[in-house]
Amino acid sequence: MNLYGIELESRLLLGSARYPSPALLADAVRASGTDVVTVSLRREGGGQRSGQGFWSLIGELGVRVLPNTAGCHSVKEAVTTAQMARDIFQTAWIKLEVIGDADTLQPDVFGLVEAAAQLCADGFEVFPYTTEDLVVADRLLQAGCRVLMPWGAPIGSGRGLNNVFGLRALRAHFPDVPLIVDAGIGRPSHAVEAMELGFDAVLLNTAVALAGDPVAMAAAFARAIEAGRAGFEAQPMESRDLAAPSTPVPGRAWLP
Amino acid sequence: MHILVNGVAREVHATTMAQALDVLDYQQAIVATALNGVFVPTHRRDTTVLKEDDALEILAPMQGG
């Protein structure tokens, strides 16, 4: 898989938040086989320097980071956060989130397009967290994005793919654009479904971090994503409503 | 000088942003900065002069999804 000119072995992008401990985060990242881990920027309170320890841990894992603008509700917030992220993480990659609704964390697609245009013009390589809306996708590509990340379902909901029809249409409309399902994945079967639809990758966090055994779940997702991709590449049969016998009918014994 | 550091009122004896980061014990820390809502890159901290009631934002790497 190639994202902004970078060849990646794994089709799983993994979030780094909400793990029970830093050690479990590290083990889950290793078990997942991912090449890309998402990170964020936050204030450090009370004289603590936990962010420095976290950054050391990520450095030891040897993965590429994808900083996000999580929690930003305006274009200005998102653009400034992206600039700060580039300064600290030394990468042009940015997972662009402009949140429009506090309950569903649904993207503000109008602000998203505006922020994406500004950031692309400033040399960023933008991974926009968007909906499955075709017109918005088109505007994001016009703004300069070369990867799209439609949601499967609201962030952290674990509901899977809420709108399979819309995601399938998105894949069909943009066959050459890397498409990553981001958010809402809860189980390995959801990831398989996304990959069988022809999506290039899956980005998830909570499904692994909040699993009873995050390390085992990371490994399960890695295998699910490989299986789903292999299934897509093998060109699945078309489904049908009525049965079709798999055993040949001619030559049946006559047994009155 | 009275400034806001990550939303908290502080008395900081510094003229520039770089000096303020030193005083606030961020010398070795990997952080990103903004002043009054405007991004200030690392290489401009030495020349970014603080004034009374400025709002300094100091962000560090953190877990994210």
Partners of residue A94 on adjacent β-strands = A126
- Per the structure, the count of domains in chain B is 1
Helical packing angle, A134-143 and A109-121, nearest 10°: 20
On whether the pTM is more than 0.90, the answer is yes
Mean pLDDT of A39-53: 83
Q: What is the CATH number of the domain that holds B7?
A: 3.10.20.30
Interface membership of A177 toward B (CB under 8 Å) = no
The verdict on residue B42 lying in a domain is yes
Mean pLDDT of A171-182: 98
Min distance B33 CA to chain A CA atoms (Å): 7
Cα A95 to Cα A99: distance, rounded to the nearest angstrom: 12
Interface membership of B27 toward A (CB under 8 Å) = no
Task: Write down the pLDDT at residue A182.
Answer: 96
pLDDT digits (tens, 9 = 90+) for A17-34: 999 999 999 999 999 999
Assembly ipTM: 0.96
Cα A170 to Cα A200: distance, rounded to the nearest angstrom: 12
The verdict on residue B10 lying in a domain is yes
Min distance B44 CA to chain A CA atoms (Å): 11
CA A201: distance to chain centroid?
A: 7
Mean pLDDT of A100-110: 95
Interface membership of B34 toward A (CB under 8 Å) = yes
Mean pLDDT of A135-139: 98
Sort residue A37 into left (φ over 0), alpha (ψ -120 to 50) or beta. Answer: beta
Residue range(s) defining the domain that contains residue B50: 2-59
The verdict on residue B64 lying in a domain is no
pLDDT at A221 over 60: yes
Cβ contact A49–B60 (<8 Å)? yes
The verdict on residue B47 lying in a domain is yes
Task: Write down the pLDDT at residue A243.
Answer: 94
Task: Write down the pLDDT at residue A49.
Answer: 78
Task: Write down the pLDDT at residue A92.
Answer: 98
Cβ contact B60–A205 (<8 Å)? no
The verdict on residue B65 lying in a domain is no
Task: Write down the pLDDT at residue A180.
Answer: 98
Q: How do A2-3 and A6-7 pair as beta strands?
A: antiparallel
**Token pair listed for A201:** 């990758």
Per-residue pLDDT of chain B (65 residues), as tens digits, is 999 999 999 999 999 999 999 999 998 899 999 999 999 999 999 999 999 999 999 999 999 99
Average pLDDT, chain A: 96
Task: Write down the pLDDT at residue A50.
Answer: 80
CB A221 within 8 A of CB A207: yes
pLDDT at A135 over 80: yes
Mean pLDDT of A147-158: 96
What's the pLDDT band for A45 if we cut at 50, 70, 90?
low
Mean pLDDT of A126-155: 98
Residues of A whose CB is below 8 A from B17 = none
Task: Write down the pLDDT at residue A95.
Answer: 98
- What number of H helices and E strands is found in chain B? 1, 5
Task: Write down the pLDDT at residue A47.
Answer: 65
The verdict on residue B14 lying in a domain is yes
Catalytic positions of A, written as ranges = 95
Within the 35-64 window of chain A, which residues sit less than 8 Å (CB to CB) from chain B? 38-45, 47, 49-52, 54-55, 58
